[in-house]
């Protein structure tokens, strides 16, 4: 007899090896925040009383994070629980739920993606840049660096530099 689990919409379905897309998204957001803070999986595991392998499973979405654990993660990582659900696109809510509550059908902001479909915010280079930026203690220097980066990243800045 095949194992069956109760799904979000209350139907019984066979248990499958593929993680739920919501669990994968929450895991990616967990990894993003942990990495931005420069925290290792081992350290997060210690704070939670878990092994780093368990943290890995959370981050891959293989193991679902319960509500009390999600709250605890928010406290440790200094983010609200809603952080883990930010930028969620294309989730599978049952049709009877769509439109039942205001906001569930709203589109989230479009973020730039790499050719492989991953968010630019998930790239290690981006995370390291953000961490380095926030290590700059002088707020004026941070502000000037930010303005420089914006100027260098704009198409107008490239045109102006090539015309000189």
Q: The CATH number of 4-115 is which of 3.40.50.300, 1.20.1050.10, 3.30.460.80, 1.10.260.40?
A: 1.10.260.40
Q: Give the start-to-end residue ranges of the domains of the chain.
A: 4-115, 123-164
| Burial class for 30, CB neighbours closer than 10 Å (0-12, 13-18, 19+) | buried
User: How confident is the model at residue 14, as a pLDDT?
Assistant: 53
156: buried, middle or exposed (CB in 10 Å: 19+, 13-18, 0-12)?
exposed
User: Along the 164 residues of the chain, how does pLDDT read in single tens digits?
Assistant: 445 555 555 555 555 578 888 999 999 999 999 988 889 999 999 999 999 999 999 999 999 999 999 999 999 999 999 999 887 776 555 555 545 545 544 444 445 555 555 566 667 777 788 888 888 888 899 889 888 888 888 767 555 655 65
Whole-model pTM?
A: 0.56
């Amino acid at each position: 007899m095949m194992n069956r689990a109760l799904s979000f919409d209350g139907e019984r379905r066979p248990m499958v090896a593929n993680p739920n897309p919501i669990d994968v998204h929450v895991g990616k957001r967990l990894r993003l925040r942990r990495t931005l803070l420069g925290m290792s999986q081992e350290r997060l595991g210690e704070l939670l009383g878990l092994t780093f392998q368990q943290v890995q499973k959370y981050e891959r979405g293989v193991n679902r994070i319960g509500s009390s654990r999600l709250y605890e993660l928010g406290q440790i990582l200094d983010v609200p629980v809603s952080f883990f659900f930010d930028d969620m696109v294309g989730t599978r809510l049952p049709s009877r739920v769509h439109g039942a509550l205001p906001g569930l059908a709203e589109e989230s902001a479009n973020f730039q993606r790499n050719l492989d479909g991953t968010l630019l915010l998930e790239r290690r280079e981006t995370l390291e840049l953000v961490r380095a930026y926030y290590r700059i203690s002088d707020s004026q220097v941070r502000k000037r660096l930010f303005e420089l980066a914006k100027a260098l990243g704009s198409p107008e800045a490239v045109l102006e530099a090539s015309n000189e």
